[in-house]
Amino acid sequence: MVSKNQIKFIRGLKEKKNRVLSKKIVVEGLKTIQEFIDSKYDLDQLYSTSLELIKNFQPKLINDSQLKLMSNQRTPSGTIGIFNMIDKPIKDSSFYIVLDNISDPGNLGTIIRTCEWFGINQIICSIGSVDCYNPKVIQSSMGSLSRVNVIYTDILKFLKLKKLPIYLAELGGKKFKKSEVLDKCIWVFGSESHGISDEIKKIADFSFMIPKYKKDIKTESLNLPTSLGIILSSVRT
């Protein structure tokens, strides 16, 4: 059985402040829960409409009404896991992806998944960026968040400390060519609505844009995950 207080607590984890205070996150869906269990995340609670074992863990049985109250999804999958947060120190690397004030959770989730595809296991975000444990981020990352560290820090200080060339991806930059960038570098991508902050532009080495197939194409811009995917496909393969 699950109590009303437990349901209230899990519903409260939709809010960032409650996740920060409790150091717990909600993960939904059997496959994604299994991926988090297989990673470094510690499973705290498990709820399901079935008593079938999940990775040798016995879930607490809940009914459909309770599931709907606990779930963040329009069509709940039937299984909910509560995991403990983990500390995520920045790892030394010769290649970094930095996100400046990203606000859309779906975009961040897709970026996490895309980065894992191209062998990138950490993403550096500005402190004001959307929380990677937002339920929509977890859902859209399709389990990749369990293997990709998302670290929040003062990215201006971070960029100044790293002795690597800084490349910006933005409209108005030079046409992107793989031959003009180094393998060891930092790529910065800005927010969907405001782009990259002026402070970061001042310390960057180069600014690049993805050229259109033809100049007369009417589409004005690409969304953030698409732009990142195109660049990574070029520089990481």
Query: Domains in the chain, start-ordered, CATH in brackets?
Result: 4-84 (3.30.1330.30), 95-235 (3.40.1280.10)
Find tokens 């500390």 and name the residue: 87
At residue 100, the pLDDT reads 98
User: Exposed, middle or buried: residue 133 (CB in 10 Å: 0-12, 13-18, 19+)?
Assistant: buried
pLDDT greater at residue 126 or residue 88 = 126
Residue 175 CA: distances (Å) to CA of 149, 172, 179: 30, 9, 11
27, 44 Cβ separation under 8 angstroms: no
Q: What DSSP designation does 162 have?
A: S
Q: What DSSP designation does 197 have?
A: -
The share of the chain scoring above pLDDT 70, in percent, equals 100
Type of residue at 26:
V
pLDDT class of 88 with cuts at 50, 70, 90: confident
pLDDT class of 215 with cuts at 50, 70, 90: confident
At residue 15, the pLDDT reads 97
Entry pTM: 0.95
